[in-house]
Amino acid sequence: MTPLEILLQDRFVIAGTGSRSLDLPENEATRVYLFGKLVETLKAAKIKHDNLFVLSGGAEGWDRLLVFACIEAGVDYALVIPTSTYGEYYYRDHSVTGEDRYHVYCEMRDRAVTVECHPGKMMQFPNGKWGYQNMVRNQRMVDLSDIMWVWDPTSAGTKDCVARIRKANRRFYEFKLQGKLF
């Protein structure tokens, strides 16, 4: 068993996947609303599941919002990232905002209970197709979670993760601008 698998024993695990575009300036109102809903929902989930734990892929957008909602709600979380240079690549050099946001990634990383990293860049999947480690990270979160929270299942990476969720017959909730989980 890996350190993360040991940590998650006897925990109720929520993993999140969603679009990076949530961090774009034009989505600020949606982001603010969803942050409040995430905090509220995490607090309710924490009451229902005193062993609650969250996994985040650490990406900008939904993943980042989920992490900071965990911090606000007092819920432990771990980052499951595809490469050791993930923060530098996505937050510093290729942020959806066009700005260097590496400090944001560092805060998420430093406040996480643990960070699990899958080294490498490209890999061949059982179906013979090649893909990025991001997809391996997606599968890892599906495998470790009791339920997945999804935002915007139309974006490429999220779409891949939703396909994996369905294939694994894992429960998921498509987080929308309205609705209640617990």
CATH number of the domain within which 40 lies: 3.40.50.450
Specify if 98 maps to a domain.
yes
Residue 182 within a domain: no
**CA-based Rg of the chain, rounded to a whole angstrom?**
15
Domain count, the chain: 1
Sign of the Cα torsion 36, 37, 38, 43 reads: positive
CB contact at 8 A, 131 and 161: no
Question: Is 13 within the bounds of a domain?
Answer: yes
Per-residue pLDDT for the chain (182 aa), expressed as one digit of tens each?
889 999 999 999 999 999 999 999 999 999 999 999 999 999 999 999 999 999 999 999 999 999 999 999 999 999 999 888 889 989 999 999 999 999 999 999 999 999 998 765 555 555 666 556 677 788 889 999 999 999 988 887 888 889 999 999 999 998 876 644 43
Domain for residue 180, yes or no? no
Cβ of 177: how many Cβ atoms within 10 Å? 8
Structural domain that includes position 63: 3-174
Q: How far apart are CA 152 and CA 62, in angstroms?
A: 9
For residue 56, what are the contacts with CB-CB under 8 A and spacing of at least 6?
15, 16, 63, 64, 66, 67, 70, 77, 78, 79, 80, 108
Query: pTM here?
Result: 0.89
User: Do the domain assignments include residue 147?
Assistant: yes
What was the pLDDT predicted at 94? 92
User: Which tokens sit at 48?
Assistant: 């229902």
